[in-house]
Chains A and B, each alone.
Chain A
Amino acid sequence: MTSKKLVLLNFSLFLLLAQAAGAVEYGGIGGRPAYPRPDNQRTESIFIHSIELGETKKEGIKVLNNTGEEKTINLYAVDSVVSSGGAFSCAQLGDAQSDVGNWIKLTKTEVTLKPSTNEVVDFSITAPANADVGEHNGCIILQEKKKSAAQGSGIAINFRTGLRVALMVPGDIKKNLEIVEMKVLKDATKITYSPSVKNTGNVSIDATIKILTTNLFGQVIVEHGGGYPILRGQRSDWNFELANPYWGGWFKSSMFVSYDIDVKTEIGKSSGNIKTLAGPAVWFFVMPAPLALLVELAILVLLFTLLIYVFVRLNRLRVIKKTWQLTSVSENDDILSLAKKYDVDWKLIAKINKLEAPYTIKTGQKLKLPPN
């Protein structure tokens, strides 16, 4: 190979290696709090502040473009809304904003980012003088500025990312959860547990929901649940599913809800003062699978037959004990002739009188025999 070709080859290899070193890409566009507090790890995900009436707090959101293309991203603030089941969500841009959506002022509403770059957009939060005590939630939305699908007919789908803004106006803070109900719904293939909890306080609560299902013997066969935020004044519902147990049977599901009851503890922190509520236990029956049902029926029949057999045997022994009498054996009697005479099985005579092979009996020997 000539030197020139070699140089070209090596240069190409250099470009390839150097390119591979920088071409790592993670995720799409998104954001995160720019100034998280080291004392609360939750502030790495959402904005958390205590704010007095009329007070202004400064914050910032780091907008990231982790794609391989330049992106233009719109930013706007909206109120929070409750999604179905009580989950946290963000209001739409077209809805009137009456709460935190109006409290937030962004320094920029549009940023253009080259691939793998980010920019911090600062914003301020001002609590109005008439805000009520308790928690107020909103969102800062990041949405790529692009055309949605052509609207000839049908539904055009847009995508956006929201960052929760949780603001506490201090005062008489109330933290309280109530268990509303626990439903167990069954169909041909699965069981659906539907617990429901209501937050009657004025702050959101990070609750841990636990559903324990036990069999007739008290063994836990499955545990469902998880940690979820329940917003102030809202009812939250969940659905957890379990495939029907193959062997069926009776089961009991119990519900437990735990949360930190310390009113001074902010979101993302724990005081260790945990309250646990126990909900209603629900008993339910699950039909076994067809083959399992056959096996169980067969076992039942066998057990029943065995029971009958044992009962009959025990009853016979009881009758024998009560009615058979000690009788002297006459000359020329043997066990077979006695069996014939008293119309019983010779083996029964041997068993009752504990005779062993060759079952020889003597004249004058006293044996227990049926009455004449």
Chain B
Amino acid sequence: MKKNMQIDKALRIIALSLVVVISGLSGLIHLAQANTSTTLNQTINPGSLTMDFKDNSEVSTTTSVTFGALAVSATCQQTATSSLGSATQRIWIDNLNAANNGWTVSIGAATSSLWHNVASTSKYDFNDAGGAGCTDGDADTFGGQMFIDPTAATIATGSVPTTMTGVSAGAATAFTSAASNVTLIQAAAGSDDIGKWKAYGFGVSQKIPANQSSNAYSFDLTVTIVAN
């Protein structure tokens, strides 16, 4: 009697274990039953070209760029260079077999965009080259110019075996009314069609016209990734 109970218990253990194994495997593969052969099929669909800002755990997060406060000045002044992204908050780029002739990451704003305070009563420009960025020289009535330095950035692979082949930083430049987009990163046609990259530390600075009133000013920039 005792022996029968033990056998019964063992059989139950074996049966339950088999259920677990078969159930788990069915989530991973499909088996084709055939008289003489079994074929395993796996389809991998191509993904997309994506870009996002993530923290060190690769969780999406928002980001902003801030400058140290400046005092009101009777002369034109330039902020210290701030940084877009850091070692713990980076731009992540995934090309999952979506861009097969390279891609470009650029940063920009609408041509008529302006720095503004909350009430939008005080403004200055981001893309006016007048007076070396200090005075108004374009269609609006505000001076001011923003500078972007991609050469200060760290651009690296985000996974193995992604390579840096054909991936390079754009040149340091300023926004102008004719050019409201600055290239941050360019990937040539020979760059990896499947790869992951990370980038941070793009230099950003702003020239502020003389006599700009004291306020907290904000601005919107958009980073775009596009397949070539």
Q: Which residues of A contact B (CB under 8 A)?
A: 3, 6-7, 10, 13-14, 16-18, 20-22, 26-32, 41-42, 44-46, 64, 66-67, 81-85, 87-90, 92-95, 139, 141, 146-164, 206, 208, 225-229, 237-240, 268
Contacts and interface: CB of A to CB of B under 8 A. Distances in A.
13 contacts: A27-B47, A28-B50, A30-B48, A31-B48, A88-B228, A153-B218, A154-B64, A157-B221, A159-B52, A225-B188, A228-B188, A229-B228, A238-B168
Contacts of A22: 27
Given A84-B183, A94-B110, A226 B190 contact: yes
A92 B108 CA distance: 8
A17 B23 contact: yes
A90 B104 CA distance: 10
Nearest to A228: B188
Nearest to A69: B60
Contacts of B169: 239
Contacts of B65: 154-155, 157
B62 A162 contact: no
B211 interface: no
A161 B51 contact: yes
A228 B9 CA distance: 70
Given A32-B48, A46-B227, A239-B168, A156 B64 contact: yes
B139 interface: no
A296 to B, nearest CB: 31
B227 A151 contact: no
**Taking each of B108, B112, B118, which has the highest tally of chain A beta carbons within 10 Å of its own beta carbon?**
B108
B189 A157 contact: no
B225 interface: yes
Given A3-B12, A42-B101, A227-B102, A28 B51 contact: yes
Given A26-B96, A227-B101, A95 B188 contact: no
A92 B180 contact: yes
Contacts of A139: 226
Contacts of A148: 62, 64, 220
Nearest to B126: A155
Mostly, the B contact residues are mixed
A161 B188 contact: no
Chain A interface helix/strand/loop/mixed: mixed
Contacts of B125: none
B222 A162 contact: no
Contact of A164 (B46, B60, B227): B227
A27 B94 contact: yes
B224 A161 contact: yes
A118 to B, nearest CB: 9
A84 to B, nearest CB: 5
A44 B100 contact: yes
Contacts of B20: 10, 13-14, 17
Given A84-B170, A148-B62, A10 B48 contact: no
B100 A163 contact: no
Given A92-B109, A154-B219, A161-B225, 16 more contacts: A18-B23, A21-B27, A28-B50, A28-B94, A29-B48, A29-B50, A81-B108, A83-B106, A85-B186, A94-B112, A94-B113, A148-B64, A155-B220, A161-B224, A227-B188, A268-B101
Instruction: Report the 6 A-B pairs with minimum CB-CB distance, sorted nearest first.
Output: A226-B188, A30-B48, A17-B24, A227-B189, A21-B27, A94-B110
B216 A149 contact: no
Contacts of A31: 48
Nearest to B13: A6
B50 A30 contact: yes
Nearest to B22: A14
Contacts of A30: 47-50, 98
B84 interface: yes
A157 B63 contact: yes
A21 B28 contact: yes
B44 to A, nearest CB: 10
A163 B169 CA distance: 21
Contacts of B109: 92, 94
A19 to B, nearest CB: 8
Nearest to A16: B24
Interface in B138-184: 151, 166, 168-171, 173, 179-183
Contacts of A83: 104, 106, 108, 170, 179, 181-183
Nearest to B178: A82
